[in-house]
Structure 1
Amino acid sequence: MTGPTPTRVASGQVGYAQLATADPAAWRAAGTAWASLAGLARRRAGELADGATALRSGWSGSAAGSAGARLSGLRAELVALAPAAIETDQVLAEFAARLVAARARLAGAVALADTAGVLIDRWGRVRPDPARVPADRAGPTVVQVSTALRDALDLAAAADREAAVRLARLSEGADSGWVARPPPDRPAPDADPTLVHRWWTGLTPAERRWLVAHEPELVGPLDGVPPADRDQANRLLLGTRREALLARWEQLLGRVPRGPLELAGLRGVEAALAGLDALTVRLESPQPPRAYLLGLDVGGEGRAVVALGNPDRATDVLTYVPGMGSGLDDATGELGRAARVLARCAELAPGEETSAVLWLDYDAPDFLHEAAGDGQARAAGDALHRFQEGLRASHDGSPARQTVLGHSYGSLVVGTAARDHGLAADALVFVGSPGVGVAHAAELGLPPGQVWASTAPDDVIRLTRPPGDLARQAVLGASPIGAIAGLLDGPSDERWFGRDPTGPAFGARSFPSGRYGHTGYWDPANPALDGMARIVLGQ
């Protein structure tokens, strides 16, 4: 390359060569290594607690008191270290994610330059290729490429500065004291997420860290607390939750004789344990995007709320509500569906930062007779409303585009929540729906054109009819004439819970699905997957 000697990249800026050779995976792996220290710190803290108990039983006096105080102090430091180690992982993972987005923008700039006949040298300088672009036509093209290149470098530089600041604050915390006990006031579990967020941001970093370390049961499920802090708290509870499942399993195993109910209970607990272990593997994986554990309950069939990517930092956020049969035993399978939408978003808009949340925080029906009623959907409505309000309250910077997607019975949960409580959402999506609890999209409280639906041609949900219709068809079907009358009755857009949202009378916008049955909307070859991703991105 010819031209003047390049100037040094300004302090705090990222150069073209730096970004082109950056390795996001290495930063993500470094974060995972830091996260592993959290478990080690908790185990050592437990060992110190056991040691202090043994010490008190066999040693007394002033020396014993001094030794016990020293052990307590060391234990407190280890307890405080655990959330800080998880936070370091979050910082590095989010930095890696933003590097991925910046590199995607850089690749777009390079592709534009190649198409337009523009050269980019190793220092990021842009000039027309005289062999391809006449000098009198080069100006606008060079400006376009330069702008795209600068956009990528600015994103990388902003990510670099932010990560450095956040890590510096953590380092300062180590010097000045990781934790500090906060004032005694605490919000109720069902408090307004906006008020919760105001309370949380009013605390110092040391006070917030104290709450994560000492009251994770409060912080973990509390809507309005930022996802990063909820993730730290819930990860600290993973061991306790597994111990609770094991205790229940041992209790059931000890019952003699064991009847059908006990055997069913054993199988359920074993399935939940397997599901929790699989979820733990995903949480500890360096695989991008990083998973954030926003809620976990091992009671009953288990519940989980997991985000892929930090919703607070994304420009587009999907909340996915699964349907009948969902539980902790298959949380990673349901999370995989959300991941496929996210991956398709990355293909369509590689420079955007997106996040997808699996919201399985309700008692999903297990059997068809349960799914024929709307009681479990109505019971879930307020919790889904609060969760969405919490995402809106804690989001960094400009509000994200929020999309809520319900599949099967989950679509009724979404529709009922929107109808009865309102949802902080910019778009609603229903796939494989048995009805959403309203007769028209206008009753869901969203602007026209932001309610979407799709039903596969071979989805069995198309066979559902209102209970009254089923009873009438049963009576008619008792005679040959009645059977013929039932056939002549023709197709209906009425489902169990109102009109079919893909029908023209409902007023939603539909998008196509191939013949992939009731659970195939996330198949990579199904156009429905592309449709869901485009709605999330606002395309």
Structure 2
Amino acid sequence: MTGPGRVANAVPGQVGYAQLWTADPAAWRATGMAWASLIGLGERRARELTDGAAALRSGWSGRAAGSAEARLAGLRAELRTLAPAAIEADQILAEFAARLTAARARLAAAVALAAAAGALIDRRGQVRPDPGRVPADRAGPTVVEVASAIRGALDLAAAADREAADRLGQLAEAARSGWVARPPPGRPAPGTAPALVNLWWSGLTPAERRWLVGYEPDLIGRLDGIPTAARDQANRLLLGARREALLAQWGQLLARVPRGLVEMAGLRRVDAALAGLDALAARLASPETPRAYLLGLDVDGEGRAVVALGNPDRAAGVLTYVPGMTAGLDDATGDLGRADRVLSRCAELAPGQETSAVLWLDYDAPDFLHEAARDGQARAAGDALHRFQEGLRATHDGPAARQTVLGHSYGSLVVGTAARDHGLAADALVFLGSPGVGVAHASELGMPPGQVWASTAPDDVIRLTRPPGDLARQAVLGASPITTLAGLVAGPGDERWFGRDPAEPGFGGRTFPSGRYGHTGYWHPANPALDGMARVVLGQ
């Protein structure tokens, strides 16, 4: 490819050392965002055509009027198909920029290795020993190691270049030869096994898939087993409708006069959800890296969202993060920031390795203490988390990724319950600040030995929780909200509210340390727990 940063070499399929150094991933990301900005333009033009058709209809009738209305409808349909195409172009260029960034990180690591080992690199990427630092009899291994690292970086850039060019070429050809085609009848029902969904999707032509994204986005956006790129396109198309649904809820609550406590609480909930949705939409529209992929969105209740940073279908390591109590659409970007900090630490520990992190908030998280004291919401979430992880396996490109599922606080109970009752397609589980995970021993989670990890901060209030039996013996459970809270934080021990503490030796898992940052500080940049999470994701 040629363009921002002059990536392409004069020799087709190759990328040179100097070219990779001067390539600018941010410029490619900006080019993708320029394509994505066409979505708003297309929507405005479509609304103008709709308004124009309505005006014509009110004062024009007959055969010519019918022909004009049909033509306007056709133009609106063409504009409707523009949005998925623009999103797809953005995806391709964002993924190219991400792989270019990874290649440059590998190249930087090779240069650092050369500096440490006493090797010199010229502008063409040729490596030779520094005669002032490396004896002649030791020069061979040094040169070979550095040259191999440089070649790996250039090969990654060349592969990314070829793939992006091919994908953009296919997109252009589809625009010329027929962008969409209606697929045959038959759609997977909600809850269909992800492997079967993926089999159905693989049997469709690209034009049929694009038709489904454009005309049935609500179906495609929520089906586990549909590739990340298609789900992201579908769910982005629904953003406007989701916001309209929240505004409609607001209007209904506002119309109830007089308004009681229920209506006022509802107005506050909708207001918070609107703010959260707008913040999430801003992150989706941002050139910030890694690119965000919208895999699910629901504005009912407290709201739900499934958002990936980086494409999990292409990453070597994928983290699924399940937040805990009070999680909702109102602060989805805050939870997404935690996932992003894990990715950043992964990049520091393993430069050039592609990783992705998913915020999985597709369950009704408890809002109050009395809800968090029961496992019903965790059990209700288990099947959905099981299907999501199976979907990641079904849609992944190339060799299987290392999949890690992390639960924080009540989210750790969601993860543990799903693993216990349904099984999880995961290579490792991580529990942070856990009140118990629904089992007494790591062996009950169906995971490989040594791949169940936990960490609890020394000052995490969760350490003070005790099992319900202890509270019953103290005759305080259910006496009042205040005494229930007192019972929840009564005394030490390795038994928690929902079973044995997974961070204690008797649980049978493995642990990594955490500093004194409280119940929500595991993602603090200075907390060693952040390193622990990243190393588990990387398999280190």
> Normalised by the size of structure 1, how large is the TM-score?
0.95
The ranges of structure 1 where at least 4 consecutive aligned residues each deviate by more than 6 angstroms after the TM superposition are none
Secondary structure at the aligned position of 1:312 is classed as: coil
- Structure 1 residues 258 and 63, CA, compared in 2 at 3 Å: closer, same or farther? same
SS at match of 1:411: helix
Within-5 A mapping of 1:13-412: 13-412=14-413
**Secondary structure at the residue paired with 1:323?**
coil
Q: 8 Å contact 1:81–1:178 — kept in the other structure? A: no
Secondary structure of the 2:436 match is: coil
What RMSD, in angstroms, separates the aligned Cα atoms of the two structures?
Answer: 1.6
Q: How does 1:444-523 map to 2 (within 5 A)?
A: 444-474=445-475, 491-523=492-524
**8 Å CA contact retained: 2:515, 2:528:** yes
Give the whole-Å Cα distance in 2 for the aligned partners of 1:78 and 1:9: 37
Q: What does residue 483 of structure 2 align with?
A: none
Kindly provide the amino acid, as one letter, of the partner of residue 447 in structure 1.
P
What amino acid is aligned across from residue 339 of structure 2 in structure 1? A
**How many angstroms apart in 2 are the aligned matches of 1:51 and 1:349?**
56
- What is the CA-CA distance between 1:71 and the residue it aligns to? 1.2
Query: Once the two structures are superposed, what CA deviation does each residue of 1:81-110 show, in whole Å capped at 9, x if it has no partner?
Result: 100100000000000000110000000111
Please name the residue that 1:5 is paired with. Answer: none
Per the TM alignment, residue 183 of structure 1 is displaced from its structure 2 partner at its CA by: 0.8
Amino acid at match of 1:327: G
Partner deviation per Cα, 1:348-400 (whole Å, 9 max, x = no partner): 11110000000000000000000000000000000000000000100000000
Q: Write the distance in 2 (CA, Å) between the matches of 1:55 and 1:531.
A: 65
Deviations 1:128-153 (A, max 9, x none): 22222233321111111111000000
CA distance in 2, matches of 1:55, 1:279: 38
**What do residues 208-257 of structure 1 show as CA deviations (whole Å, max 9, x unaligned)?**
11111110000111100011110000000000000000111011111110
Letter in 1 for 2:328: G
Kindly state the Cα deviation for residue 54 of structure 1 after the two structures are TM-superposed. Answer: 3.1
Structure 2 CA distance for aligned equivalents of residues 398 and 208 of structure 1: 24
Q: For 1:234-284, what per-residue CA distance to the aligned partner results, in whole angstroms no more than 9, with x for missing partners?
A: 000000000000111011111110111111110000000000000011000
Aligned residue type for 2:81: A
SS at match of 1:358: strand
- Asked whether the equivalents of residues 465 and 492 of structure 2 are also in contact (C-alpha less than 8 Å), the reply is no
In structure 1, what residue type is equivalent to 2:345? R
Q: What SS is found at the alignment partner of 2:506?
A: coil
Are the aligned partners of 1:439 and 1:506 in contact in 2 as well (CA < 8 Å)? Answer: yes
How far apart are residue 475 of structure 1 and its match?
6.7
Report the Cα distance in structure 1 between the residues aligned to 2:491 and 2:87, rounded to whole angstroms.
59
Q: Which residue is equivalent to 1:3?
A: none
Distance 2:523 2:119 in 1: 39
1:13 CA drift (Å)? 0.4
Partner amino acid for 2:306? Answer: V
Q: Is the 8 A contact 1:119 1:127 kept in 2?
A: yes
Deviations 1:479-534 (A, max 9, x none): xxxxxxx9xx9842111111010111110101111111110101111111110111
Q: What amino acid is aligned across from residue 435 of structure 2 in structure 1? A: P
CA distance in 1 between partners of 2:209 and 2:46 (Å): 20
Residue identity in the other structure for 2:118: G
- What letter matches 2:201 in structure 1? W
Q: Which amino acid aligns with 2:375?
A: D
Question: Any idea what the Cα deviations from partners look like across 1:442-487, whole Å, max 9, x if unmatched?
Answer: 01000110000011111111111111101213479x9xxxxxxx9x
Secondary structure of 2:293's partner?
A: strand
The offset of 1:322, in angstroms, is: 0.2
Higher mean alpha-carbon deviation, 55-64 vs 155-164, is at 55-64
Identity of matched residues, %: 82
- Contact 1:9 1:15 (C-alpha < 8 Å) held by counterparts: no
Give unpaired runs (5+ residues) of structure 2.
1-8, 480-486
In the TM superposition, residue 9 of structure 1 has moved relative to its aligned partner by 5.8
For the residue of structure 1 that corresponds to 2:505, the secondary structure is: coil
The alpha carbon displacement at 1:61 in A equals: 2.4
Q: In structure 2, how many angstroms separate the alpha carbons of the residues matched to 1:43 and 1:443?
A: 55
**SS of the residue 2:524 aligns to:** coil
Shifted more, 18-27 versus 466-475: the winner is 466-475
2:465 and 2:491 in contact (8 A); partners too:
no
SS in 2 for 1:256: coil
**Contact preservation (8 Å) 1:220, 1:233:** yes
Deviation at 1:57, TM superposition (A): 3.3
Q: Do the aligned residues in 1 keep the contact of 2:464 with 2:491 (CA within 8 Å)?
A: no
Instruction: Between 248-257 and 136-145, report the one with greater CA deviation.
Output: 136-145
Give the secondary structure class of the aligned counterpart of 1:357: strand
- Provide the rounded CA distance (Å) in 2 between the counterparts of 1:294 and 1:251: 29
- Equivalent AA in structure 2 for residue 527 of structure 1: P
Report the equivalent of 1:481: none
Q: Is the Cα contact below 8 Å between 1:416 and 1:436 reproduced in 2?
A: yes
Partner of 1:220: helix, strand, or coil?
Answer: helix
Are 2:466 and 2:491, in contact at CA under 8 Å, matched by a contact in 1?
no
> Which piece of structure 1 moves more, 411-420 or 58-67?
58-67
Distance 1:51 1:170 in 2: 31
The answer to whether the Cα contact below 8 Å between 1:512 and 1:527 also exists between their aligned partners in 2 is yes
Amino acid of the residue matched to residue 373 of structure 1?
R
Whole-angstrom distance in 2 between the partners of 1:325 and 1:471: 26
Give the TM-score, by structure 2 length.
Answer: 0.95
Give CA deviations for 1:287-332 in whole Å, capped at 9, x if unaligned: 1000000000000010000000000010000000000000000000
Q: Structure 2: how far apart are the matches of 1:443 and 1:313? A: 31
Count of aligned pairs = 522
Query: 2: distance between equivalents of 1:132 and 1:22?
Result: 31
Once the 2 structures are TM-superposed, how far is the Cα of residue 67 of structure 1 from its aligned partner?
A: 1.6
Query: For residues 475 and 45 of structure 1, do their structure 2 counterparts lie closer, same or farther at Cα, with a shift above 3 Å needed?
Result: closer
Question: Residue 204 of structure 1: CA displacement?
Answer: 1.0
Inter-partner Cα distance in structure 2 for 1:504 and 1:493: 9
Instruction: State the distance in 1 between where 2:409 and 2:137 align.
Output: 59
**Contact 1:341 1:529 (C-alpha < 8 Å) held by counterparts:** yes
Q: Contact (CA 8 Å) 2:466, 2:492: kept in 1 or not?
A: no
Counterparts of 1:240 and 1:47, CA distance in 2: 18
Moved more, 176-185 or 416-425: 176-185
2:482 is matched with which residue?
none
8 Å Cα contact 2:274/2:330 also seen in 1: yes
